[in-house]
Structure 1
Amino acid sequence: MTPRKSLTTTALTCAVLAGSGLLAGCQNGSDAKSPSAASASASAQPHGYVEGAEEASEQQSRLVLADAGTGAVEVLDLITEDTTSLSRNDGVRSLRTDGRFAYLSSDGGTRVVDTGAWTVDHGDHVHYYRAAIRDVGAVAGAVSPRVHSDQAVTAVSSAKGGTQLLDRKKLEDGAVPRGTELTGTGSGVVVPYKERLLVTAAGAGKDSVEVRDRDGAGVATLKEPCAQARGEAVTRRGVVFGCADGALLVSEDKGTFQAEKIPYGTSVGASERAAEFHHRAGSTTLAARSGDDAVWVLDVTDRSWTRVRTGPVVAANTAGEGAPLIVLGKDGTLTAYDIATRKSIARKKLLAEGAESAAVEIDTSRAYVNDAAGRKVYEIDYSDHLRLARTFRLDFSPTHMVEAGR
């Protein structure tokens, strides 16, 4: 197997970045220092320095893989192709990531794994980091949670109801802190966004989205409702929530939050609505299953929906503007669709028929599909007619998979 990328590190200094105008992009009000203090700090440490981490010149993608049968958990480094085995986790029901941390849920709660790979996006430039992979601990009581984070807080919303807020810095330091229970959220989901918390299933009719501060105090209730909120995604243009009649896009401008409905534009039954969004990190194009035999594509920029009839579908994803929709069918065939024409443009048989637990993870150049029965993970070049770029053979069944480092 030939690695997709080679590992290189960057040694950008503050002096260089100051000349390019990028240094200011890494500073905010809470980090501001006096000119003399900033100069001293700049001369001591490179721009973007993170203690205990190595800065790289490209995204440091890693796959977290879990076997629901044996409890095996491994992290596969897509740069070096090395695997790291972690302690077993029996009865994994779900696996999620917030970009750096992976959350393995079982009946006893949710275990947190630091993948040691993450990206910091400052808008005008990006930093990529890699560090040691390690177990962090467990979040008690969180079952099959929805997890969302920003730089300060991680919100863990349990499928049984209730949300715990975790101090992000303490997670990064290697320990699961005591969570703060956010009251009045019920079965809603909490998404940290723009130094606030967005809370669904709020209000008297349970169809409002509330804006709260990080202590849980109410700031505002958005006027546009989102009935039967299910599914959410954070994009560059705002947070998308799936609603019974379409999607709600919540954005922020100078501290003021706005909500805009993106309707389906046609009658959509409950079983056909979008309820679980998938997308490339940073992209504004989202994919979601629609019933058993179709996929919705939501273009947040154009405020439009496209429904692609695919046949029986297991998983779907897309890299965004100009990229195809990638769909894994129940017959084990991976198909690429041109979103504009809704037509198939490439097909590849990958898995045995009847695969139900596979996922399609996607980044800027590759897609990844886990094959539990075959004990493999496939790397696909979706821009080259679904060319099989690499096959990673494992000694366990990768029932669950997420990609971190994004």
Structure 2
Amino acid sequence: MNRRPLAPCLAAVLLLGTACSPSDPPEAGRDAAGAQPSSTSGPGSDDSSGDDHGAVDGAEEVAEPPLHLLTLDAAGGVGLLDLVDETATVVGTIEPPVAAWTDGRYVFAATSGGVEVVDSGMWTWDHGDHFHYYRSAPELVGAVPGRGVPVVAHGRVSTAGSTGMFFPESGEAVLLDNAALDAGRVEERFRLDLGGREGLVAPLGDGAVVTVPDRSGRVRAVRRVAADGTAVDGSHERCLDARGSISTAVGLAINCADGALLLVEDGDEWVPERIPYPQGVSAPPATDFRAREGRPTVAALAGRVGFWLLDTRERRWDLVRTDGGLLQVVASDDEEGHVVALDRAGRVRVYLAGSGEQVAITRPLVAAPAGARHPVPLLVVDDQRAYLNDPEGGRVLEIDYADGARVARELVPPTAARFFAEVGR
């Protein structure tokens, strides 16, 4: 698979506002512990090139990405751990979480009554050809009511645009206003009944893409809606069994039964493109894209066969067959094309995207989940490190996946990491 070479800035000459490669922000001031993830400006970035440079009242602009782990324990305790100096902060308490997601600043924690929003106070602003980094006080923002563990989708910029949540038990799609979150409020741009128990709402420009079910509730298509939830004329696109979406440097990719639907910005228009699965290749379809933030190549499990790689820049799928059952797979999309996976024995495996070769495998690092009531460990990847939590033990392992999947650090956060997210990116 083709890879565009990275062009990083040197931390030694980093100045605030210095222009850097649009592919990756400059390396943070961490020691051998790791470095920050990448972000690139892309379609639908919601004014990421604005004159305010992402500045927010009360936030401090800093010289490096303020990378932290935000952790949630079983009782809802929220903690922050600085990945540079391991300073620990207890933020507060929310309702007991059952799942969590992040956009790099906010953490959205599913609970029995909906979703609690936590502002880590750490973020990176993508200004197109360079980056700005901010930190402020963490905050428990508030809750979004809803029924069932939602499907959550976010855009490219945490301080602008929106966040989508589809609640399966009610069939409701909610679009949150990120500017309101930035001001410490939970405000819904719209709340729509999509009429089915399967679906999604993915931010796109000022509005979103939502699923369209048939009379039986099966998703048959997607359509664009404006910021107030009204349908956009002529935006109906076939997408059978749409499941999962991700915003990349190229556009918004949505999983369909026959491949991916890619929505690419062209001036004031959103152009739909189809990326079908390769002919003659038999494997279960992708359902959950995972990747380093903002990169063009993303990964998804292909059942027990292996994993799919979707290169949204090249408009191409590749299937990598593996010899063991995988639980998660994440595309780093770095210069080496690393793909990091967690298998059912609790081992981390590292592959090369171009050849599919497995280049590293660890001993079992975490226990496999014992039943549906126990959360699956989460694997998060940035441009040099992977993070893996132990939901039962509460620790987080930092793994140098480019160096034989070496465990670089065992981190003990201020609240046990039943769920966690890497923020500040």
TM above 0.5, yes or no, is: yes
Distance 1:299 1:142 in 2: 34
1:343 paired residue number = 357
Distance 2:403 2:366 in 1: 23
Q: 1:394 to 1:194 in 2, by over 3 A?
A: closer
Q: Which structure's relative contact order is higher, taking Cα pairs within 8 Å and 6+ residues apart?
A: 2
2:179 counterpart SS class: helix
Gaps of 5+ in 1: 14-25, 33-45
Once the two structures are TM-superposed, the CA of residue 115 in structure 1 deviates from its matched residue by: 0.8
1:167 paired residue number = 177
**Contact residue 315 and residue 328 of structure 1 kept, 8 A:** yes
Are 1:368 and 2:381 matched, yes or no?
no
Q: 1:94 to 1:49 in 2, by over 3 A?
A: closer
Whichever residue aligns with residue 173 of structure 2, its letter is T
Q: 1:298 to 1:147 in 2, by over 3 A?
A: closer
Q: 1:84 to 1:405 in 2, by over 3 A?
A: same
Distance 2:102 2:270 in 1: 26
Higher relative helix content: 1
1:128 counterpart SS class: strand
Which one of the candidate residues 258, 269, 277 is aligned to 2:289?
A: 277
Distance 2:214 2:205 in 1: 21
Are 1:64 and 2:75 matched, yes or no?
no
After TM superposition, list the pairs within 5 Å mapping 1:248-287 onto structure 2: 248-266=261-279, 272-287=284-299
Q: Tell me the alpha carbon deviations over residues 347-385 of structure 1, each in whole angstroms, 9 at most, x when there is no partner.
A: 222524424611111112211111223432111122222
Whichever residue aligns with residue 326 of structure 1, its letter is V
TM-score, structure 2 normalization = 0.79
After TM superposition, list the pairs within 5 Å mapping 1:165-244 onto structure 2: 165-177=175-187, 180-182=190-192, 184=194, 186=196, 187-201=198-212, 206-222=219-235, 224-244=237-257
1:152 paired residue number = 161
2:112 paired residue number = 107
Q: 1:309 to 1:182 in 2, by over 3 A?
A: same
**Contact residue 393 and residue 416 of structure 2 kept, 8 A:** yes
2:304 counterpart SS class: coil
Once the two structures are TM-superposed, the CA of residue 250 in structure 1 deviates from its matched residue by: 0.9
**Contact residue 170 and residue 176 of structure 1 kept, 8 A:** yes
Q: 1:387 to 1:207 in 2, by over 3 A?
A: same
Distance 1:221 1:80 in 2: 52
Distance 1:48 1:135 in 2: 21
Once the two structures are TM-superposed, the CA of residue 81 in structure 1 deviates from its matched residue by: 1.5
Are 1:132 and 2:137 matched, yes or no?
yes
Identity of aligned residues (%): 35
1:220 counterpart SS class: coil
Which one of the candidate residues 37, 46, 50 is aligned to 2:56?
A: 50
1:218 counterpart SS class: coil
1:207 counterpart SS class: strand
Distance 1:116 1:7 in 2: 25
- Rg comparison, structure with higher value: 1
**Contact residue 59 and residue 405 of structure 1 kept, 8 A:** yes
1:85 paired residue number = 90
